[in-house]
Amino acid sequence: MTDMSAPGLREQAASTDHLLGDGENNASQPIGVLLDVAGAGSQIALDLQRLNECMKDEDPSVALAGQVGNQVKIRVGNAWLLASVRNQRQDRRQNGGIIADVDFLGEGLEEKLTGRINAFRRGVTRYPIPGAYVYPATTADLRQIYASDGRTSIPIGTVYPTRDIRAGLYVDAMLGKHFALLGSTGTGKSTSAALILHRICEAAPEGHIVMVDPHGEYAAAFKNNGMVLDVSNLQMPYWLMNFEEHCEVLLTRTGNDRQMDADILAKCLLRARSKNRLAESMGKITVDSPIPYLLSDLSNEIQNEMGKLDKSTNTAPYMRLKTKLDELKADPRYQFMFSGMLVGDTMADFLCRIFRMPGDGRPISIIDVSGVPSDITSTVVAVLSRLVFDFAIWGRDEKTRPILLVCEEAHRYVPSEKHADDSSVGRILSRIAKEGRKYGISLGLITQRPSDLAEGVLSQCGTIIAMRLNNERDQSFVKAAMPEGARGFLDSIPALRNRECIVCGEGVAIPVRVSFDNLEEAKRPASEDPSFVDLWRQSGGEEDRVHRIVQRWRSQGG
């Protein structure tokens, strides 16, 4: 029977001393034994004295051996099994002992000369037996484990706790099954998102990436390798909206009144679309068909319908629609969408522009919706998201290239049931999450409140990049969406430093803690927090600044 006591471990350690030089002793000596084995994870006993000896090791991976969130290895025949430490507690039965739960991550063969892990792969085919010794995983082991397996990957940072092992994301696997980037405000989430997107753009300069940017942060980051579209140059034609989106913008009432208004709008909108020559050449069209129509034609149709009523019928629904339509046409804030200039058939040009087809080496389009009036922001995002989805569906026979849709502040657009407002944007993004990959659409969700996301959406993301989350509800929500083997890593989410993350899922070989690379100043988003003290020390020019702000405020960007 294997001696599980600390002296037993040290005898085993002494017996291996002569095999390697002094510099490698810590790595070659056990730090604990396996107590019991279960399917996903197991329990180990660690020797406190051996852990203290390892802490002085020059290899940072060995120095942190046995600590929560770090890796250990267990020999099984001629192979090594890698495990991640989930938690630790004192062993009350044995003085100086520690009990820890571990999650099995994968296995690799043992290199005969060095004893290191080689040919690592995820999953377990052969389990160890209780009593097997537990060893520290070295930087050399981790270098083999995190080495690229030949698939295209993008470097994003350094594997923690090593100083030089590069951490990469497998692009095809990450985009093929969607991804989510989560982290509380102030953790470096925007800069990390920009870093990942820059790396994707470098790897695929002729790609097609559409990013919805609600705060206008990313224009600065992608001005050189992307197209920035905002209210000044977006020119999104109103007639691209389907019937549901028209209802969101034009209908103001709820309940039975809303249904009555919707019936009138459906009839008049179909007639207005039918007046276009395109409709005549197509034969049958529906109220959702993206056929250009004149706003004045829609207004006239509503007027004509109202004229057919007898005196006893209520004209209020017609007046509500007509008034709202006149408001949209007259308000300069809506000119980017409801301008009389946007009546031409520019659909193909518009799609080429926002999908970057051709990309001309600038594969990302940043759709800055910060200047869009708040009452129609979600509708604008819904139209853009639906255009991505519909384009992919109708292009199935064309072998069109995949499109990546990235949504910042995703919890605003795909809210959970308790925050749901029954908007079309939530429905279309949920549909993309569930069905998008069949049609070559990848979805990237960025949010600081994962617990406010719709329940099913996060579970559809094959790769989750979790930065520090301060809120306990958010932490438990993310843990529930992640695979079992990542639990040891996930417990360290509240302890992550800025610009550090846990990555698990399809985009990596095994769960990994990563310190993100620094991004050059010119490629960073404009999301730096202001320094109150520095700015409050400066004076001069305040009155002129206030006058300029008031001028912009009054003109509303018009």
Residue 65, domain CATH: 2.40.30
Task: Choose the final residue of a domain: 294, 310, 333.
Answer: 333
Q: What is the pLDDT along the chain (558 residues), one digit of tens a residue?
A: 344 454 455 555 444 443 333 445 788 889 999 998 886 668 899 988 888 889 988 888 888 888 887 889 998 888 888 888 888 888 777 776 889 988 888 888 887 777 677 778 877 888 888 999 999 988 888 888 887 777 888 999 998 888 888 989 999 999 999 999 999 888 889 999 999 999 999 998 889 999 999 998 999 899 888 899 999 889 999 999 999 999 999 988 777 788 889 999 999 999 999 988 888 788 788 999 999 999 999 999 999 988 887 766 778 888 999 999 999 989 888 999 988 777 888 899 999 999 998 878 889 999 999 989 988 999 999 999 999 999 998 888 877 789 999 999 999 888 887 666 778 899 999 999 999 988 999 999 999 999 998 878 888 999 999 999 988 888 888 888 776 656 667 777 888 888 899 998 889 888 888 999 998 888 888 866 667 887 788 888 888 889 888 887 777 644
Shared-domain flag, residues 208 and 273:
no
Split into its structural domains, the chain has a count of 3
* Encoded amino acid at 354, one letter: I
Q: Which two tokens stand for residue 321?
A: 């629609």
Shared-domain flag, residues 398 and 292:
no
Strand partners, 179: 444, 463
CA distance 131 to 73: 14
Beta strands 403-408 and 209-213 are: parallel
- What pLDDT does 496 receive? 86
Is 2 part of a structural domain of the chain?
Answer: no
Shared-domain flag, residues 344 and 491:
yes
Shared-domain flag, residues 346 and 302:
no
Is 534 part of a structural domain of the chain?
Answer: no
Neighbours of 165 (CB within 10 A): 21
Asked if the bond preceding 161 is cis, omega within 30° of 0, the reply is yes
- What pLDDT does 11 receive? 53
Is 300 part of a structural domain of the chain?
Answer: yes
Q: Which two tokens stand for residue 11?
A: 């005898």
Task: Choose the final residue of a domain: 333, 354, 387.
Answer: 333
Is 346 part of a structural domain of the chain?
Answer: yes
- What pLDDT does 19 receive? 33
Is 268 part of a structural domain of the chain?
Answer: yes
Shared-domain flag, residues 313 and 230:
no
Residue numbers of the domain that contains 244: 240-333
Shared-domain flag, residues 65 and 123:
yes
Shared-domain flag, residues 394 and 450:
yes
Task: Choose the final residue of a domain: 146, 179, 196.
Answer: 146
Continuous segment of H or E residues that includes residue 101: strand 97-110
Is 16 part of a structural domain of the chain?
Answer: no
- What pLDDT does 8 receive? 55
Is 555 part of a structural domain of the chain?
Answer: no
CA distance 364 to 219: 11
Shared-domain flag, residues 292 and 350:
no
No. of H helices and E strands in the chain? 21, 18
Q: Which residues contact 294 (CB under 8 A, 6 or more apart)?
A: 272, 275, 340, 343
CA distance 121 to 82: 10
- What pLDDT does 535 receive? 78
- What pLDDT does 442 receive? 94
Alpha helices in 118-188 (DSSP H): 139-146, 171-176
307 to each of 303, 304, 311, 314, 319, how far by Cα in Å?
A: 6, 5, 10, 12, 12
CA distance 408 to 195: 14
Shared-domain flag, residues 365 and 468:
yes
Three-class SS of residue 339? coil
Is 379 part of a structural domain of the chain?
Answer: yes
Shared-domain flag, residues 224 and 88:
no
- What pLDDT does 458 receive? 87
Shared-domain flag, residues 396 and 252:
no
* b/e burial code for range 186-205 (CB count within 10 A of at least 16 → b): ebbbbbbbbbbbbbbbeebe
Shared-domain flag, residues 174 and 245:
no
544 to each of 141, 283, 540, how far by Cα in Å?
A: 62, 60, 9
CB 423 within 8 A of CB 407: no
Strand partners, 511: none
Sheet holding 179-182, edge to edge: 166-170, 153-159, 512-516, 500-505, 463-466, 179-182, 441-447, 403-408, 209-213, 364-368, 226-229
CB 99 within 8 A of CB 107: no
* b/e burial code for range 285-307 (CB count within 10 A of at least 16 → b): bebbbbbbbebebbbbbbeebbe
- What pLDDT does 18 receive? 35
CATH number at residue 396: 3.40.50.300
- What pLDDT does 78 receive? 83
